[in-house]
Chains A and B, each alone.
Chain A
């Protein structure tokens, strides 16, 4: 190791004495991207000091607030995250927003960090989502209109700022989800799973109560394009096929013709994942063109009247949300109107073109799941077209006179680097590549080391020391949640307000 770095790495591993040549790196964002970046830097350069700033008191980001509660194995990565946070070279600064001066009075300006650290890595992810931009989207009176799927997920996962989201699971038996990705599927699955099964996961108490009360029996997941263009993956679809008593419905005529057509067969032969998914859908779905009559007296699994259904709808683009409509003799709370699309181009890059045909779907609530979105940080470049921080392989660039100039000492990792797509494994690899760029620049002397005394003074003068949640504070909160969860037969009972978190941490 020492030969690569040009200075003794292991020899100077000490928490009390830092060599002048040891680098100080700040990471903005304590989620998967930030933590994997830190992990990689430390594995190759163990004496680097890394300070991780996170807006929330809790680290882990979407691993805590995005991954579904019934996917606990996916959260096993947090063991490694805690190891990183407990590394003596790492300081966790939870409850410290950075670069969000427009939202938080006490936000640490990014410029202050850049002036005292050798390098700063932006790993703050995507905390907003894209809107449909249609009439009636924001609801009407007591009708909720279209709710962000990101917020719905954050709500059942306990994100403090999502706890007061307005939902309607009661006024009708159907929810429409716009989007054909895994987030949409997660929402559908949580809406259709037996709440007794959910009660054993780390889903919040309030969410279970709301889902027990829920009248939702039918979920329609609607997408712009066809079966060959879906973005969700087989694992999540397979989970739907295993929900007891759930009927999966789709237009099998469309499905079969897409898969059997010349272009379709070619794309399926070339893509093992897509082929396996289409096979699964063909095996488990019931045709929407000839639905079985629902016997009102028939009890599904679990004694619920009537089958629960999950319908995959293709080739529909949302046009507007209408209120006070009478649909099929019922006064529906709200009706979503869609334009029927036709596909053009090869399956790999098919475009949806609206026809004049319109389809109405009545529902109590719609969820829009068409993508998360990153927001700009004050003091850092931002590409408003792609909603990312512009970069070349993790080194931030700024568009100056049509040239892409590197911004020295500024790096980017995770969704804010590539766009809000990718699983934890993708983020891990991405973070490692950024970390490698930081390591290279450290080794080649392209960035300074920063100055620990200046860092300490700056953080103290900004009042960071007084407000921050440390690793030890986080671990205390984590233990508290685990203990509360154990009483309820769950892995953890999450604390859902920042105030309560800080009270527990500061006790």
Chain B
């Protein structure tokens, strides 16, 4: 029992979380419940939850490191939790990626360009994402909407290019697009 406790309480965050859970149980436990059994149940549940990676405060969730390449060539290495989408990840790290519709797949401003290998390994974009990608400036064969791509362990080391958006619209007489 104590051994289990010390193992899961090794990281500070886990310790705090465990303490919170424990105090919650102890304040609501009925007279017939033996505290040690509740504790064991809590620990098991906590471990299971961490394995699923839902908790934002549990470092046992896989952290994945990728590199954003900004339009001017500046490279920014960032680390994020599995399940974070690339747009959120960029915003968390002050990488200059827009997100007008805030991840609702209703614009193309979080457009990113991946390398072939990562692009091929990802699940296919939905029709809805492809419809938005159709409108993205500088669309490539390995383009995705950042808000629709979630970090997975397979993406460790991925290089994510932000397309250059600089263009003097229509000064050169280029035919405009849609609205």
Instruction: Please give the residue numbers on chain A whose beta carbons come within 8 Å of chain B beta carbons, in ascending order.
Output: 71, 73-74, 76-77, 79-80, 181-183, 231-235, 238, 272-273, 276, 392-393, 418-426, 428-430, 432-433
Stretch from B18-26, B46-54, B102-110 that touches the partner: B102-110
Q: CA of A272 to CA of B143 in the docked complex: distance in angstroms? A: 13
30 A–B contacts, CB within 8 A, in A order: A73-B106, A74-B106, A74-B107, A76-B100, A76-B101, A76-B102, A80-B100, A182-B178, A182-B179, A183-B179, A232-B178, A235-B134, A272-B134, A272-B139, A276-B131, A276-B134, A393-B171, A418-B169, A418-B170, A418-B176, A419-B170, A421-B178, A421-B179, A423-B135, A424-B100, A425-B98, A425-B135, A428-B109, A429-B137, A433-B169
Beta-carbon nearest neighbor of B168 in chain A: A393
**Which residues of A are found within 8 Å of B178, using beta-carbon distances?**
181-182, 231-233, 421-423
Residue of B105, B106, B132 with most partner-chain A CB within 10 A? B106
Q: CA of A421 to CA of B179 in the docked complex: distance in angstroms? A: 5
Is the CB of B130 closer than 8 A to any CB of chain A? Answer: yes
Beta-carbon nearest neighbor of A392 in chain B: B171
Q: Are B177 and A421 in contact (CB under 8 A)?
A: yes
Would A421 and B176 be within 8 Å (CB), given that A429-B137, A429-B169, A433-B168 are in contact? yes
Q: Mark B50-68, 1 if CB is under 8 A from A, else 0.
A: 0000000000000000000
Is the CB of B166 closer than 8 A to any CB of chain A? Answer: yes
Beta-carbon nearest neighbor of B100 in chain A: A77
Instruction: Please give the residue numbers on chain B whose beta carbons come within 8 Å of chain A beta carbons, in ascending order.
Output: 98, 100-102, 104-109, 127-128, 130-132, 134-135, 137, 139, 165-171, 176-179
**Which residues of A are found within 8 Å of B102, using beta-carbon distances?**
76-77, 79
Beta-carbon nearest neighbor of A430 in chain B: B169
Beta-carbon nearest neighbor of A71 in chain B: B106
Would A420 and B169 be within 8 Å (CB), given that A76-B106, A235-B132, A273-B134 are in contact? no
**Which residues of A are found within 8 Å of B166, using beta-carbon distances?**
433
**Which residues of A are found within 8 Å of B134, using beta-carbon distances?**
233-235, 272-273, 276
Q: CA of A77 to CA of B128 in the docked complex: distance in angstroms? A: 19
Would A273 and B109 be within 8 Å (CB), given that A74-B101, A419-B170 are in contact? no
**Which residues of A are found within 8 Å of B106, using beta-carbon distances?**
71, 73-74, 76
**Which residues of A are found within 8 Å of B100, using beta-carbon distances?**
76-77, 80, 424-425, 428
Indicate which residue in A71, A276, A426 contacts B169 across the interface (CB closer than 8 Å): A426
Beta-carbon nearest neighbor of B102 in chain A: A76
Beta-carbon nearest neighbor of B131 in chain A: A235
Q: Which 8 A-B pairs have the closest CB atoms?
A: A73-B104, A273-B134, A235-B131, A73-B106, A421-B176, A76-B102, A77-B100, A76-B101
**Which residues of B are found within 8 Å of A420, using beta-carbon distances?**
179
Q: CA of A73 to CA of B132 in the docked complex: distance in angstroms? A: 13
Shortest B132–chain A CB gap in Å is 7
Q: CA of A433 to CA of B137 in the docked complex: distance in angstroms? A: 15
**Which residues of B are found within 8 Å of A430, using beta-carbon distances?**
169
Q: CA of A273 to CA of B143 in the docked complex: distance in angstroms? A: 14
Q: CA of A432 to CA of B165 in the docked complex: distance in angstroms? A: 10
Q: Are A423 and B104 in contact (CB under 8 A)?
A: no
Q: CA of A422 to CA of B179 in the docked complex: distance in angstroms? A: 4
Q: Are B169 and A233 in contact (CB under 8 A)?
A: no
Q: Are B107 and A425 in contact (CB under 8 A)?
A: yes
**Which residues of A are found within 8 Å of B130, using beta-carbon distances?**
234, 276
**Which residues of A are found within 8 Å of B135, using beta-carbon distances?**
233, 273, 423, 425
Q: Are B168 and A423 in contact (CB under 8 A)?
A: no
Shortest A440–chain B CB gap in Å is 13
Would A238 and B179 be within 8 Å (CB), given that A418-B170, A424-B100, A429-B137 are in contact? no
Q: Are B179 and A425 in contact (CB under 8 A)?
A: no
Q: CA of A234 to CA of B139 in the docked complex: distance in angstroms? A: 16
Known: A76-B101, A235-B134, A422-B179; 4 extra A-B contacts, CB below 8 A, are A71-B106, A233-B178, A426-B179, A428-B109
Residue of A76, A80, A181, A238 with most partner-chain B CB within 10 A? A76
Q: Are B169 and A77 in contact (CB under 8 A)?
A: no
Indicate which residue in A73, A276, A422 contacts B177 across the interface (CB closer than 8 Å): A422
Would A76 and B104 be within 8 Å (CB), given that A181-B179, A231-B178, A422-B179 are in contact? yes
Q: CA of A233 to CA of B127 in the docked complex: distance in angstroms? A: 13
**Which residues of B are found within 8 Å of A272, using beta-carbon distances?**
134, 139
Would A423 and B176 be within 8 Å (CB), given that A76-B102, A238-B131, A273-B134 are in contact? no
Shortest B63–chain A CB gap in Å is 28
**Which residues of A are found within 8 Å of B101, using beta-carbon distances?**
73-74, 76-77
**Which residues of B are found within 8 Å of A182, using beta-carbon distances?**
178-179
Shortest B87–chain A CB gap in Å is 12
Q: Are A422 and B108 in contact (CB under 8 A)?
A: no
Q: CA of A39 to CA of B137 in the docked complex: distance in angstroms? A: 21
Q: CA of A393 to CA of B132 in the docked complex: distance in angstroms? A: 26
Q: Are A425 and B108 in contact (CB under 8 A)?
A: yes
Q: CA of A238 to CA of B129 in the docked complex: distance in angstroms? A: 12
Q: CA of A392 to CA of B166 in the docked complex: distance in angstroms? A: 15
Q: Are B131 and A426 in contact (CB under 8 A)?
A: no
Q: CA of A69 to CA of B169 in the docked complex: distance in angstroms? A: 29
**Which residues of B are found within 8 Å of A428, using beta-carbon distances?**
98, 100, 109
Shortest A419–chain B CB gap in Å is 6
Would A429 and B165 be within 8 Å (CB), given that A233-B135, A419-B170 are in contact? yes
Shortest A490–chain B CB gap in Å is 18
Shortest B145–chain A CB gap in Å is 11
